[in-house]
Amino acid sequence: MKSALKSGKLRYIFILSAITAAFSFICIFYMLSVSVVLEEDNKQYFDEIAFETANTVESKLASLLSSVGGYTYRFAGLERLSPEEQMKILSETVTANVFHDIAFIDLEGNAVSPLFGNVNLSRRDYFMHAMQGRNYVSGAITSEFNRDDRLNVFAVPVKTGDKITGVLAGAVQNSLISEMISSDVFGGKATCYVMDSDGLIVLKPSRDVLNIEAGITLIEAITPSSGETLLLNTHGSFSFEYDGESYYASYKTIDISKWMVITIVRSSDIFAVTHNVFGMVVIFTSILMVLVMAAILFVGIRNWISRKKYIKTSAERDNLKYTDLLTGGPSFEKFLSDVKETFEKASDICAYAMISMDINKFRTVNDHLGYEEGSKILIKLSELIRSSLTEGESYTRKSADSFCILIKYVSDVDIFGRIDTLINDVYYQIEEFKLIMSFGICKIDDLTMDPRSLIDRADLARRTIKDNNDSSYAFFDDNMLTKIREEKRIENIMEFALESNEFKVYLQPKYDLHNPSVIIGAEALIRWFRGGKMIPPGGFIPIFERNGFITKIDKFVFEEVCKQQKLWLNRGYEMRTISVNMSRMNIQEPHFVRDLYDICTKYNVPTKFFEIEITESVAFENLETLTRVFNELKNYGFHISIDDFGTGYSSLNMLKNLPVDVLKIDRSFLTDTKNERANNIISHVISLALSLHMKTICEGIETEEQVNLLSDLNCDMAQGFYFARPMPIEDYEKLLYAGARITT
């Protein structure tokens, strides 16, 4: 018995050993085969990376070439200008670019540049190529004026009509371009060189695996492993030996000057993954059989636990996804899903209507009762709406105090009855505050429509309702559909319009009421010109504010103003502060203030020359966030102004918390200069601002009577049509700096 047991045990051990040995042999043989495949895959992967790197280098070089070409329109007919006028245009172009120097070269090769003045460049290859009508990039050349300064020149022909009248050449320091084309290739282990058609290195990054000096022939420096003469086509790869070490190279010819981008990496680096995999196999096969049963058991238990946890987590995630965290009702996403499902199952017996409901000036509730009580009111309102629904109907809180409701109806009387019932329920059951509500109604005649489009229509109908003291409603009609189509048209072209420079910055001067002839600054305003006509701001600003595009417009205006301030600084003009409006959406962006500061840093313009203007109503959104943003703006040195001051309900509370420099009194207080109550309000606001060390400005000034009133009330500044309308930057410059004195 013992012998049989022992024999069985030995047989089991023998079988287990045989299986282990066979398995190990199979694994090793398999991995040897796989290692060969992996090496080829690694090469192919590296070739793909090198190919993309070449495209990136070509794109960056083309971008610099395009940057020069983008300014040629300014130089058409430049040969007819005086040297002083030529130098002025060239200096302004250098200021707005990364170029070390920009020169205009006439047909005889005589060049003028801000850095070196006049010089003859007729023998330069880039001049001769550009005169033949081709854009051209030179290799690394030595400056005639500084032998330690190596440059690359980007040259493009300048044309007047179809005739070449000269060449525009932008010089960039070779070291700067080398840094621009540097990239973290293959985890930072590879180096990217650029060489010309003769094999000379013209560009290389700061990190050089071969340590080859620029200006030597790369082809002669390396020897292919095959020992054959190196013949390069438009693209390809090869292995080579250099300084006793093995390397792998992949190359591709680019269109710019027919240069070649060659990316090189040590063979040990490119095949490191393969070697590591093979080494791990030996360790893996040694312990695999010991752990296999434990692993199977562990994996089985883990999968079972994970599956249970996944099911629980999925349920919780779906619950959060489909639940409004404030009210506990359906989320907006759940509402959209429910509406689609309802439409799919709907019959022809009844019709449906989409209702958009909003509480008028709900921010006053938060202001009087606090955010916590305001949230409780929204929860009660959500419960009232839910209790009013019948089978096949649904609702959601879309945002803040805005709700969407899908109801069934037979006639308009049913819709009126449902709305009146809800208004009465709210009136009698929410006693904390009298809520005034607006309803937009879209009757649905096509159940295949996207629910979002139906909500947009109901929202549009609601927005047509003017503020009043009673709840009211409006139906969507075809005229509103035309408005929706116009909004969609604007949304479809707004990105293209921004890229095509259809938006222009206008400046409206601000005047000192203590000395009305003195301009003390301006407000930047956006204007849209399309097809030779100006689109009124009211026709696109509200749309941009709803779809979020306003943040791009605000940043565009700020950067354009920053560019102009830079030009005035360079000319030595006496600087004035320019205010730029920022929408409430910008306030919510975490890097909003830092982005503005980075733009100022980019153009080297002090932040003190900018005033960030924010509407008072933004404070109702989130006073805590606004306080943080204002403090951050002050820390960076920006001035801050509050627009439309006095139209809200928390003006005094806002001044208590926010570091404001300027109060902009709303123009509505000046509609009747004989109104003593309005004048008393303005007087007290000005006195309050003075006691808080703030300046005051009033906008919309149109009459001399208004000017005299504000002067008597000791207001500091004013702007409006009485003084000057918004104007192009060029006109503002003429108005402000005609006979400008130079600062010292």
Domain count, the chain: 3
The domain that holds 723 is classified in CATH as: 3.20.20.450
Neighbours of 206 (CB within 10 A): 9
My answer on whether 352 and 388 are in the same domain is yes
Residue 45 lies in a domain: no
My answer on whether 462 and 531 are in the same domain is no
**Closest by CA position to 655, among listed 633, 621, 627:** 627
Mean pLDDT, residues 65-69 taken together: 73
Tokens linked to 489: 């048209």
My answer on whether 452 and 517 are in the same domain is no
When mean pLDDT is compared over 76-80, 174-178, 363-367, 473-477, the highest value belongs to 473-477
Mean pLDDT, residues 472-494 taken together: 87
- Give dist(CA 459, CA 558) in Å, integer: 32
**Helix residue ranges per DSSP H, 82-236:** 83-95, 125-131, 174-181, 218-221
My answer on whether 509 and 408 are in the same domain is no
Rounded to 10°, the helix 550-570/729-737 angle is 40
Of 126, 157, 176, which residue sits at a domain end? 176
Residue 184 lies in a domain: no
Residue 525 lies in a domain: yes
Contact status, residue 65 vs residue 537, Cβ threshold 8 Å = no
Output the average pLDDT for the chain: 80
- Note the pLDDT of residue 82: 74
Q: Considering the chain, what percentage of its residues have pLDDT values greater than 90?
A: 30
My answer on whether 712 and 573 are in the same domain is yes
Query: Would the pLDDT of 613 be above 50?
Result: yes
The domain that holds 109 is classified in CATH as: 3.30.450.20
My answer on whether 470 and 512 are in the same domain is no
Residue 204 lies in a domain: no
Query: Would the pLDDT of 476 be above 70?
Result: yes
Mean pLDDT, residues 95-105 taken together: 75
Of 176, 195, 227, which residue sits at a domain end? 176
Q: In this predicted model, which residue has the larger pLDDT, 105 or 604?
A: 604
Phi/psi of residue 237, each to 5°?
A: -150, 160
My answer on whether 472 and 612 are in the same domain is no
- Note the pLDDT of residue 278: 56
Neighbours of 689 (CB within 10 A): 23
- Give dist(CA 123, CA 137) in Å, integer: 15
Of 176, 199, 222, which residue sits at a domain end? 176
Contact status, residue 592 vs residue 555, Cβ threshold 8 Å = no
My answer on whether 672 and 527 are in the same domain is yes
**Closest by CA position to 445, among listed 486, 416, 393, 409:** 409
Instruction: Print the domain residue range for 381.
Output: 332-476
My answer on whether 397 and 516 are in the same domain is no
What's the pLDDT tens digit per position in 668-691? 777 777 778 888 888 888 888 888
Query: Would the pLDDT of 298 be above 90?
Result: no
Confidence of residue 292 (pLDDT cuts 50, 70, 90): low
Neighbours of 35 (CB within 10 A): 15
When mean pLDDT is compared over 209-218, 296-305, 707-716, the highest value belongs to 707-716
Q: Considering the chain, what percentage of its residues have pLDDT values greater than 70?
A: 76
Query: Would the pLDDT of 253 be above 80?
Result: yes
SS3 at position 80: helix
Confidence of residue 289 (pLDDT cuts 50, 70, 90): low
Contact status, residue 624 vs residue 617, Cβ threshold 8 Å = no
The domain that holds 457 is classified in CATH as: 3.30.70.270
Residue 102 lies in a domain: yes
Neighbours of 605 (CB within 10 A): 21
SS3 at position 716: coil
- Note the pLDDT of residue 1: 47
pTM above 0.85, yes or no: no
Confidence of residue 154 (pLDDT cuts 50, 70, 90): confident
Mean pLDDT, residues 284-299 taken together: 58
My answer on whether 454 and 585 are in the same domain is no
Q: In this predicted model, which residue has the larger pLDDT, 141 or 440?
A: 440
SS3 at position 77: coil
Tokens linked to 457: 């229509």
- Give dist(CA 357, CA 403) in Å, integer: 5
Residue 320 lies in a domain: no
- Give dist(CA 593, CA 599) in Å, integer: 10
Residue 593 lies in a domain: yes
My answer on whether 470 and 544 are in the same domain is no
- Note the pLDDT of residue 649: 46
Tokens linked to 444: 């649905």
Contact status, residue 404 vs residue 353, Cβ threshold 8 Å = no
Mean pLDDT, residues 249-272 taken together: 80
**Closest by CA position to 688, among listed 649, 714, 725:** 714
Mean pLDDT, residues 225-243 taken together: 70
Confidence of residue 146 (pLDDT cuts 50, 70, 90): low
- Note the pLDDT of residue 293: 56
Residue 108 lies in a domain: yes
My answer on whether 444 and 549 are in the same domain is no
When mean pLDDT is compared over 250-254, 302-306, 439-443, the highest value belongs to 439-443
